Structure 1
């Protein structure tokens, strides 16, 4: 199976061909995948070099000119390093665009902590009116990329698409808006985000819980959570592939009129200095199926 990032360039290349408003801005990373597109659309495929603040600023400049910019690099260089440019160049000026990251929380451990970004979604959450998409499969990544870039979403909409090498075995029918009900039960609700769905399904096998699948995490589908919880007291577990607790406030807001408890599971704040492999990071943060089963079961008890 190809990865989400493998799918990214061909999808956006087709969008460049289909829509003369679409433009791509790169900072060296990913440029080889857009060589043909750069020849076909030299004015709409721009590589600014290793200049991440300029990367975001140039994307905003293209938006000012009426284009729909797709801005791409690793998450730590796309969200954390040029955060001021995201806040001011896009947000303050009221411009739309699509930020597409790679490497997720720890997808390239060999790159070290400079290439890890478990806090990206939490950081984006401090800004107004950004949609955040976290696909769990390459097919879902294609759907959500098209949803984010499509002219029908409006040229002033702002979207962040978070790609990962981690993926579920099978795609789900995502629509860019709603949570999906994957399993129903009566003892609690577990919200699995993006590539953690398979781990959550394995962890909750045989447990009497509802499992919701989230790939659009902002706006947060509070209505789906309320329907799953019902009118009675509720226990809710959020399992996110980024900083633990990122969506607990959103869940609390959705359930403000219902007695409830919320447990936020995700990537811890501590830096793991023995970089190792992706699967070792997953286990170290307690996001493998065995660890999740123990943590979810203890909370529900």
Structure 2
């Protein structure tokens, strides 16, 4: 007899965690811009001074969050990733960064989860954009069970945190770590899987002699963890990220600054804008993030390294 396991979407875990936290933390505030707002109708009626829906005014949403933080509240801000990071970026830079106040930004949609809505709802450049301002912690969970502890930790803190939620998940939760978790060990190189790409990476590397590292927290970047893995394996690094290809290349360079190494960055392509719709799986294949494409890319990279010796 097969046991059916019911799994929640990351978005619903986020909603339930925030609603519960609002009832126990009088300094927690929530600011939305229509997206997911109906989930919080009861909480808004109960805490009208702490649950605010600004409508489609994302710049105002971030500005209000900055004001709430200055007033001693811990704001959680939520909408689709492009409306959370890209559209109000100036306010992120000034109202949060320049004022040096904290907030928890929780985005949905990831790079291209909601394909039918088109390019307006896609944000493969979000993490790279946040890299241009200092002081951000970035979480990219790959399983719904990772969302609640990451969110509760963010709420309990006072810094600037981005929690990047996705509809794409892997099958088993990995114990949370501030850095990399070693899932496999091998001698030919190191493959890093960030959040939702883990299942494809594990499938792609199942017969390869490589170390596989997993991360659900990518900023701060675990320089020591990567360095340790490379020293124990081989100086071949493949960085697989569910957003713009090469987003963490500068972090790898810093971690291995005095270690001769080779890097292949895999992620959402930078060379052209994808204008087709299709499905998220179609886009994975186009960007080379499905298991078959990853296997081909990683194998070729490792073989090139052997040939150059």
- The normalised TM-score by structure 2 is 0.94
Residue 2 (structure 1) aligns with: 8
2:61 alignment counterpart: 55
Q: CA deviation at 1:233?
A: 5.2
| 1:147 paired residue number | 153
Secondary structure of 1:160's partner? strand
Q: Does 1:76 align with 2:77?
A: no
| C-alpha deviation, 1:147, in angstroms | 1.5
Measured after TM superposition, the shift of residue 52 of structure 1 is 0.5
Q: Partner of 2:240: helix, strand, or coil?
A: strand
Q: Is the Cα contact below 8 Å between 2:77 and 2:106 reproduced in 1?
A: yes
When residues 260 and 246 of structure 1 are mapped into structure 2, their CA distance, relative to the original with a 3 A threshold, is same
1:220-274 per-residue CA deviation (whole Å, 9 max, x = no partner) reads 0011101101177500000000000000110110001111011110001222111
Please list every run of at least 4 consecutive aligned residues from structure 1 whose deviation after the TM superposition is greater than 3 angstroms. none
Provide the rounded CA distance (Å) in 2 between the counterparts of 1:298 and 1:144. Answer: 36
Residues 122-201 of structure 1 correspond to what in structure 2 (within 5 A)? 122-150=128-156, 153=157, 155=158, 157-175=159-177, 177-201=178-202
Q: Secondary structure of the equivalent of 2:252?
A: helix
| TM-score (norm: length of structure 1) | 0.96
SS at match of 2:257: coil
Tell me, yes or no, if the aligned pair for 2:189 and 2:234 is still in contact at 8 Å.
no
Alpha-carbon distance, 1:89 to partner:
0.3
In the alignment, is the contact (CA less than 8 A) between 1:232 and 1:258 conserved in 2?
A: no
User: Offset at 1:10?
Assistant: 0.3
Secondary structure (helix, strand or coil) at the match of 1:207 reads coil
| Consecutive unaligned residues in structure 1, runs of 5 or more | none
| 1:213 corresponds to | 214
In 2: Cα distance, 1:189 partner to 1:232 partner: 7
How far residue 276 of structure 1 moved from its aligned partner, in angstroms, is 1.1
Is the 2:188–2:233 contact (alpha carbons within 8 Å) kept by the matching residues of 1? no
Helix, strand or coil at the partner of 1:236: strand
Are 1:233 and 1:258, in contact at CA under 8 Å, matched by a contact in 2? no
User: What do residues 65-88 of structure 1 show as CA deviations (whole Å, max 9, x unaligned)?
Assistant: 000000000000000000000000
1:35 — aligned with what? 41
Give the secondary-structure state (helix, strand or coil) at the position aligned to 1:239: strand
